[in-house]
Amino acid sequence: MDDLRLIFEYLMTPSSTIFIVGGLIVLLAPILVHFFIVHQTPYTSLPSIVLAGPPGAGKTALLTLLERGADRPVATHTSQTPQSVELTVSTDHKSGRPITTPYREAARDDAPGKHRKFLLIDTPGHGKLRAQALNHLFPGNGSGDAGAEKGAPNDRLRGVVFVVDAAALDDNLADAAAYLYEVLLALQRRTGAGRTSKTPNAVAVLVAANKADLFTALPASLVRGHLEAELGRIRQSRSKGLLDSGVGVDEVGAAEDQDVWLGQYGSDKFTFDQMREFDLEVDVVGGSILEAKVDKWWDWISSRI
């Protein structure tokens, strides 16, 4: 009992130690609480960009380059799990028109202009693991964001960067296009779903034609043409059953068919411009991660954040 009284007396007697300790508690407590909360709820409100595309295209290499700002990409290996990094874009409006700070300087605190943080999410390209990428377009279909409404569009998603190997597209065209078809169809349905409830945020797609440093690499215009042609073929074969069975475009079966039909319904040729009907902009831009020529992709990302 006496001990307790002594401690109490000591605490109540003004002394510099007590003031310092008390002051520290008052100052540090809110800071600790802040970090605790930030740690508990990571990235909840950050806009996100998803990297998708066939294996070996350079998704992980791109993420690493943008994260480290290095001049050379580091060696990567096939990804099996998604990974995400927090990056910063900054845009300088001083000179009248917006200028995006190069990715190497964007993360620096003294970079000019307005800073905006976003989440860049790398996903595995292997066929069996693609659901992880598609899950970011519609969380809650499998694993993914806890608490997200099942099958609801992801509100934070701003864009999808679909990386393809422009130097090996001839060999990989069928696989790359099949994957892109899934991505675009998921985004198209997302817009469709928004017609009945609230309109989802606009999402854009950038086809990043990577490995322009290799002499076999196709220019962006050819990558675009090849992909459009192959997507058209896929669309044709997927809907063949219905079209051949004599069910016309305006007849009853059309509703089901429209679910798997990418772009303008009933059109002969597929073009990326047809995705505009669903509020989807698709750009095809060349670049090389190896030579660190990714500024156009970075500008594209910046403009979506």
Between 50 and 275, name the residue whose CB sits nearer to ligand GTP.
50
φ, ψ at 148 (rounded to 5°)? -75, 145
Angle at 248 between CA 245 and CA 254, to 5 degrees: 95
Q: Which H or E element spans position 205? A: strand 204-210
Between 259 and 291, name the residue whose CB sits nearer to ligand GTP.
291
Q: Select from ligand GTP, Mg ion, none the partner in contact with residue 61, using the beta carbon and a kind-dependent cut-off of 5 to 8 Å.
A: ligand GTP
Q: How far is the CB of 223 from ligand GTP (least distance, A)?
A: 14
Structural contact between residues 135 and 143, judged by C-beta atoms closer than 8 angstroms: yes
Between 138 and 297, name the residue whose CB sits nearer to ligand GTP.
297
Q: Select from ligand GTP, Mg ion, none the partner in contact with residue 58, using the beta carbon and a kind-dependent cut-off of 5 to 8 Å.
A: ligand GTP
Binding site for Mg ion (CB under 5 A): 59-60, 79
Q: Are strands 83-92 and 114-122 parallel, antiparallel or unpaired?
A: antiparallel
Q: Select from Mg ion, ligand GTP, none the partner in contact with residue 214, using the beta carbon and a kind-dependent cut-off of 5 to 8 Å.
A: ligand GTP
Structural contact between residues 154 and 83, judged by C-beta atoms closer than 8 angstroms: no
Residue with tokens 């609230």, as numbered in its chain: 198
Q: Select from Mg ion, ligand GTP, none the partner in contact with residue 210, using the beta carbon and a kind-dependent cut-off of 5 to 8 Å.
A: ligand GTP
Q: How far is the CB of 123 from ligand GTP (least distance, A)?
A: 8
Q: How far is the CB of 282 from ligand GTP (least distance, A)?
A: 19
Binding site for ligand GTP (CB under 6 A): 53, 55-61, 73, 76, 78-79, 124-126, 163, 210-211, 213-214, 288-290
Between 120 and 289, name the residue whose CB sits nearer to ligand GTP.
289
Q: Select from Mg ion, ligand GTP, none the partner in contact with residue 159, using the beta carbon and a kind-dependent cut-off of 5 to 8 Å.
A: none
Helix (H, G, I), strand (E, B) or coil at 246: coil
Between 39 and 77, name the residue whose CB sits nearer to ligand GTP.
77
Cα(281)–Cα(134) distance, integer angstroms: 18
Cα(173)–Cα(57) distance, integer angstroms: 12
Q: How far is the CB of 32 from ligand GTP (least distance, A)?
A: 38
Non-local (6+) Cβ contacts of 212 within 8 A are 166, 286, 287, 288, 291, 293
Q: Select from ligand GTP, Mg ion, none the partner in contact with residue 190, using the beta carbon and a kind-dependent cut-off of 5 to 8 Å.
A: none
Q: How far is the CB of 132 from ligand GTP (least distance, A)?
A: 11
Q: How far is the CB of 216 from ligand GTP (least distance, A)?
A: 10
Task: Give whole-number Cα distances, 154 to 85, 239, 251, in Å.
Answer: 18, 28, 33
Please compute, for residue 229, the number of CA atoms within 13 A of its CA located in the half-sphere on the CB side: 9
DSSP 8-state assignment for residue 274: G
